[in-house]
Structure 1
Amino acid sequence: MPVEVILPKVDMDMESGQISRWYAKDGDAVTKGQVLFEIETDKAAMEVDAPSSGILRNVTAVEGTTVPVGQAVAWIFAEGETYAAAAPTNTADAPAVVAPEAKPAAVSKETAPATTATTADKADGVRATPLARRVAKEAGIDLTSVSGSGPKGRIQKKDVENGVAQGAAVAKPVVQVREPAIQAGAPLHAAWLREGKNSALAPLVLIHGFGSDLNSWRPMLGGGTLDNPILAIDLPGHGASPHTIPDDLHAIAELVEQTVAAYHSGPIILVAHSFGGAVATEVAARSHLDIRALVLMASAGLGAEINGAFLSGFVRARTEPSLVAWMKQLVQDESLLTKPFVSATLAQSQNVALRDAQQLVADRFFADGTQVIDVRQTLANLTIPVRVIFGAADRVIPATHATGLPGEIAVHLFAGTGHMPQLEQREKIMRILAEVSRSVA
């Protein structure tokens, strides 16, 4: 029998929730504990895990749909289980249609959400959902300037996104940028994306690439299950970190070290993408942290060539059409450029101070469309296990930069994959990370 995936009840007053994001699509193979979707209520935002392993079918609630508590939003079929014959008896006529009068059901541990955000209505007096606050923070938008369409005027995510889109179409918005909340002792913004199921395993510390932020790792984490705690960091000039750009990689590496130390003491596994790969290599070489392994994806610093036109165009883009045109350079499979992904990136593009800081990063480390940073020999000198991952169709940094590395460095080259293997090959990347974690446990 297929297993129902229901919308869980997470507080006593909850009657319904809005599906704000799916991390898997109909027909995908999923594993128990993998994040399936994100829901938003009047009070909180949370991620919901898969209650079992199998094939996701009959996804009935698309993103943006409000669903009553206890209603099935999908089913998980076992491998080889007949799709039509295995339909649940209460929806035999049309498996994709769910009874509208579904009543709230008790939530088991298997269907409980993985993480829950803080309450929506904060001390600042602005009524806004957690997702609306997150989108506004990424865009540097002052919520007091946004009109809410929700109950009692509560600001919802779509209200912030509509404001961003209108501002991009009409004129550059006047943005009030608030200082980001950064943990004491940490010079950069960071967040635990997963608490982990096994605290004995070394945490994964994730460092994103140019023009991105720590939230860019969330889709990858929906591609499988890892038992490690997972900490992600915003680089200088990115996400919620300060906009001051250090002069060199050593200075950035020092900020990363201080940030990790503020959140965790003990062994870690360092995982990084693109520009973050060059930073991570410097962090590993400095030996100030107990780094047990290094995983680099489409890493910068291994050769001189880089798509300078992409860097420049991405930073300048302020409207959705222009931004999407450059985002297509990142992937081979353009279906991965989902509306939420594009909307989040567009929101960031409206923060002029943020993009100015990223232009400085490009000018300083990729001057004249050339990588002026070189960590190739530094990487070769490391004595810890290293994995280097590239997409053969990378249009930002050539995959040929992975050739000629020492034999003890494991190189993974994925065909039909662009600059973001963590998105295009997320299940395989998650397996590699699990293998690395087990090998150093």
Structure 2
Amino acid sequence: MREKIIPVVMPKWGLSMKEGTLTQWHVEEGDTIRVAQVIMDVETDKIASEVEAPDAGLLRRKVGKEGDVYSVQALLGILAPLEVTDEEIDTFIAAFVQPTNDDDTDDEVASAYAFMETDHGRIRYSHINADASGTPYVLIHGFGGDLDNWLFNLDALAEQGPVLAIDLPSHGQSQINTDIGFDDLWKTVAVAMDKLNLGAAHLVGHSMGGLICTEIAKQHPDKVKSLSLISSAGLGEVINNDYICGFIDAESRKNLKPVLQLLFADSGLVTRSLVDDVLKYKRLDGVTQALSSLANQLFPDGKQRNRIPSPIAPPTLVIWGEQDTVIPASHAHTLPNAECCILSQAGHMVQMEKANEVNAMILAHTQAVN
């Protein structure tokens, strides 16, 4: 009967996650679970998020307790049909050996991040599954973000090919330049693609990153096989200037948290750890000046200046969160030749709030292009 027992385990999100807190179960023993059904909430040192069931079945046993911390791949629950006895489930739990990843050492995690010298300073990047065949994915974050904005997307895309995620100049752990410009951003991404010999890639951009993707497609069409634009800048004039100014000006946890909550439909996803991580970046020398320089170029007078040309040449997917309070979801319909998907119960960070749906959409879009 062991082959009929399916373990529910603590998920692994991103490169550095080692443990998470099971904050809440959303299902009860005896419930029939569907694939992609939300079954629990987990909080890590990066963010809180819902966990969707990767498998279907009858929830026979909740092993994990709310409020407890568990390492990645720890046993949290048991799915099994009624024909499996309680004694067999007890035996399975007692004999369960938590899977380990031999590559998941501190050295390996550290080596997943690398640095590259460019004309606009040293940038941090992660090149996952670099030796795999298939068209690469290049992930470009938005204003004030970093490559951890793709925490819930990296592994799913890496199953199909190499994935490059970058900390843009003056963002994340890349070098801070106080007079950074928009052209410096997209040119740095193009240079990184050349240095890593990526060739034509599927470009995936969030917010300002979407604008960067389309500029690369315009300037270097040979580098772009498809575009996936998520809550993209450049598709209309409107932007929440209170968010932009609030993010730039915030100097304390108290001021920063409500600004970050504007990014999510569920403000509870903004954890203390997430706020602290962003605040640590904001307090680096030159960050306020760099972000102000970018904002003055891209959002003068509180409006978007740069526009994505229409129609756009590469096959393009546009994804938006219906509850986006930073850039309105109505902008999603600007490109007449693009596939458009708007997801409910999601805000500006839709790739985090609705990761499974977003990953599936990107994979379907890119596989059709391949």
Matched, 1:317 2:250: yes
**Alignment of 1:65 onto 2:50:** no
State whether residues 390 and 402 of structure 1, in contact with CA within 8 Å, keep that contact through their aligned partners in structure 2: yes
Q: Output the CA distance in 1 between the equivalents of 2:197 and 2:7.
A: 38
Aligned to 1:279: 212
Corresponding residue number in structure 1 for 2:355:
426
**Judging changes above 3 Å, is the alpha-carbon distance between structure 1 residues 325 and 410 closer, same or farther for their aligned structure 2 residues?**
same
| Matching residue within 258, 263, 274 for 2:196 | 263
Q: Deviations over 1:416-441 (max 9, x none)?
A: 32111112221111111111221122
Q: Equivalent residues in 2 for 1:160-239 (5 A)?
A: 182-184=115-117, 188-192=123-127, 194-195=128-129, 199-221=132-154, 226-239=159-172
**TM alignment of 1:368-383, pairs within 5 A:** 368-375=301-308, 377=309, 380-383=310-313
- Residue of structure 2 equivalent to 1:390: 320
Match in the other structure for 2:365: 436
* 1:353 shift after superposition: 2.8
Q: Residue 20 of structure 1 contacts residue 63 of structure 1 at CA under 8 Å; is this kept in 2?
A: no
Q: What fraction of aligned residue pairs are identical, expressed as a percent?
A: 27
Equivalent in 2, 6, 9 of residue 3 of structure 1: 6
Summarize the Cα distance change of 1:418–1:313 in structure 2 as closer, same or farther, 3 Å threshold. same
- Alpha carbons of 1:299 and 1:59: their partners in 2 closer, same or farther (altered >3 Å)? farther
1:76 to partner: Cα distance? 5.3
CA shift for structure 1 position 185: 5.8
* 1:141 corresponds to: none
TM-score w.r.t. structure 2 length? 0.76
* Gap regions ≥5 residues in structure 1: 8-16, 41-49, 121-129, 135-179
Task: Give 1:337's aligned residue.
Answer: 270
Is the strand fraction higher in 1 or 2? 2
- Measure the CA separation in 1 of the matches of 2:288 and 2:102: 33
Does the residue aligned with 2:304 lie in a helix, a strand or coil? Answer: coil
Aligned length: 342
Q: CA separation in 1, counterparts of 2:275 and 2:156?
A: 19
Alignment deviations for residues 110-168 of structure 1 (CA, whole Å, 9 cap, x no partner): x4438535439xxxxxxxxx79x99xxxxxxxxxxxxxxxxxxxxxxxxxxxxxxxxxx
In structure 1, the residue corresponding to 2:203 is in which secondary structure?
strand
Give 3-state SS (helix, strand or coil) of 1:400's partner: helix
Distance 1:241 1:205 in 2: 17
**Residues 10-29 of structure 1 aligned to structure 2 (within 5 Å):** 19-20=19-20
Are the equivalent residues in 2 in contact too, given 1:267–1:289 (CA < 8 A)?
Answer: yes
CA RMSD of aligned residues (A): 4.2
Output one character per residue of 1:10-58: Cα deviation in whole Å (capped at 9) or x when no partner.
xxxxxxx962578997659778xxxx99999xxxxxxxxx997447973
1:87 Cα deviation from its structure 2 partner = 6.0
Specify the alignment match of 1:416 in structure 2.
345
Contact 2:22 2:69 in 1 (8 A): no
Change (3 A) 1:222 1:365: same
- State yes or no: 1:405 paired with 2:335: yes
Given the superposition, is the C-alpha separation of residues 21 and 183 from structure 1 closer, same or farther in structure 2, using an over 3 Å criterion?
A: farther
Q: Post-superposition shift, 1:342?
A: 3.3
> How far is 1:218 from its partner?
0.7
| 2:24/2:67 contact within 8 Å kept | no
| Pairwise CA distance, 1:361 | 1.7
Post-superposition offset of 1:74: 1.9
Q: Distance in 2 between matches of 1:267 and 1:24?
A: 43
Structure 2 unaligned blocks of 5 or more? 11-16, 28-32, 46-51
| Corresponding residue for residue 74 of structure 1 | 76
Give secondary structure in 1 for the equivalent of 2:232: coil
Report the alpha carbon displacement of residue 262 of structure 1 after superposing the two structures with TM: 1.5
